Structure 1
Amino acid sequence: MADIERAGTAWCAAVALCVALPVAGCASGPKSVDPTANAEAAAEATQVSGSLEDWKDAVCLSGTGGSGTRHTVDGSACVPQDGDGIVNFDHFESASSMGSVLSWTPAAHVAQTVVDGRPLAIWTPSGEVGDLDPLQEFGFDVVSYQSAGFTRGVGEVPASVPDTGDAVTLPVNQFGYVVVQTAGGDTQCIVEIAFVGCQTMGTRWPQHADGSGPYHGVRINADGTGSWVDGNLGAAAPTTLTTQTYRAQGWTIVSSPAGLRFTNDKTGHGALVSVEGVQTF
C-alpha cells in the first residue's frame, strides 16, 4: 500500500485540500470547474444510486483497496480497474475543505456526492478521467478542476541549474513528500516531484477577482507555470531551512533572506517564493 499512499500525494499537498454536478457522459471530456468559485454550490449532492461499497467495487481493481488517505476526515484509496494510477474516496467536513484539497492538485478529476451528511469526493489526483467512467452508471458527473493559473513571462528563459554538490538532501516524510518553511515561519511549502506548493498568511499575493481578498496559496509546476490556490497545507511538520542549499524530490532549494528559491533540476524552471510575492522563471 506504500505505492498507493505515495501516488495519492500527487496532489493534494499534504493535507487538507472538490466538487461536481451532473452531466451526461464524457465523450467530449470532463467539464472544468474553478474551485475558488461558488464553493457553496459544492454542498449540493449529486443524485446518485448505489452505495459507497458499490462505487468502490465498480472503480477499484480487485484486491487493491483499503489504504488510508492522510488529509480528510475519513478516506481510502485504491488502484483503478486499468491497474494504473490511484483513486481516492474521501469524506470532508465541508464543501470548502473539499475544494481546498482539490485546488492544490495538478490534475484532478472528481465525482462528488454526500454520504452521512458529509461531502464525499471520488477523485484521481493524477490519473485519467476514464478511471471514474464506471461511476456514470450510478448517475455521477465527473468534472476537472482548474485554479487561477499563470505562466512565465514572454522572453524569460530557464535559469541555469544550480550545482548541488554541497546541498543538504531532505528526506521525504511517511506520505512521500517534503515540507519546508522559512526561518521566520511566514512561508511554508510542500515539495513533490511534479510541483511545489506554498502558502503564506501574508496579504501581498494577488487579489481574487471578486475582491474577497488575496490568495494565500500558490502551486509551482516543474515548467515554471503554476496556479494561485485557496488551499491549506495542513499541519504536516515542516523542516525549517537556514541560509544554504537543499535538495528534495528533484528540486534544488536555496533559502535566503529574499525567500525560498525552488529550481527544478531537470528543467531549470521554478520560482522565488516569499511573503512579498512569487516570481517564476
Structure 2
Amino acid sequence: MEMLRSRVEGELRSVLEKYFVVEHLHRMAVSFVESKLKESLIFSKLCVIHYRMLGGNHADIYKAAASLELIILGLDIIDDLQDQDHGSMPWCQAPSALSLNVAIGLLTAAHQSLLDCDFDEKLLLKSSELMNRQLLKSINGQMLDLLNDAGSEEEYIRLIEQKSASLLVLACMTGVMLATSEWNGTVAEYANEVGIAAQMKNDIRDMLNWEEKNDFIHRKKTVPTLYLIRSLGEQHWLASYFKGQGVPEEVLRRKQEIKQLCDIHGTLLYASVKMRTHYYKFMEVLESAQLDKNWKEQLVLCLG
C-alpha cells in the first residue's frame, strides 16, 4: 500500500501542476492536498483493490484513483465551509471565498483527470457517468443534511446513503467499471452498508466531542441524538433545544448533564449496535461474493 500512496500522491501533484496555473490557487490547493495526504486515502485504495481484484492491470488506475481523492477533498472543503466546523483545517483558516474556489477547482480537475486516463473510451464514458451520478447523489444527500430535518432514524439512514455511502460506492465501482465495464450489484451493496456504518461511527464519535465538531451544539439529528430525544420525550429541555429553542451556550453549560443522560439511556450503546448491524451486513454480503479469499481479507483490512 505504500507504493499505492506514492503513486497516488504523484498523480495528485501532477494534476495540480497541470490545471492550477494561477500561483495563489496552486499554492492553496497544494496545502489542502498536503492535509489530505495525512489521511488513509481509503477511496483510492478501494478503487485500486477492486480494479486489481477483477483483473485490471493498466498503470493509469492510479490516476483514476487520485481523481477520487480530489472529489472527496473538494466535497470535504465545501462541507466544512457550510457547517462552519473543523476550524483547524487549512481551508477553514483561509478566506472562505478563496477556499470555495479551490474546492470547485478540485471537483472539476477530478473529472478532467479521469478523462485524461488512457483507458478505452467506452470505459471512461461509463466511469465518468458513474462519477457524475454518485456525485449528484451525494449533493442531494448534503442538502438533506444541511436542512437537518430528519424525523426518524430511517430518514437519517437514507440521508447517509445519499451523502456518504454513495461515495464509497463510487470508489469501489470505479475500480469495477474500469476493469469490467459492468455494474456489480454485490459490490455496490457491501460498499453501501459499510458506508452507512462508517458514518454512524463518526456520529458516535462526534456526539460527545466538545472540542470542534459537536452534534449537540449544532442540533444535528443523527441516530444517537434522535434516539436520545425519543427516550427523553418531547417535553424535555433537550428536545426543545433540537427544535430551535435555547442557545448553544446552554448546552455547553450542561455538558456533564448531557453525558449522564446518554449513559442513563444507553445512547452510545444503542447507536453502536445499530452501526454494527450495518457492518455485519457488509461482512455478510462480502462473504457471499464470488471473490478470492485474499482479496476479501484486503477489503476487510481496508474497511475494518
- Shorter chain as denominator, the TM-score bin is under 0.3
Going by fraction, where is strand more abundant, 1 or 2? Answer: 1
User: Scaled by the length of structure 2, what TM-score is found?
Assistant: 0.24
Larger radius of gyration: 2
- Structure with the larger RCO, 1 or 2 (CA within 8 Å, 6+ apart): 1
Question: As a proportion of its length, which structure holds more helix?
Answer: 2
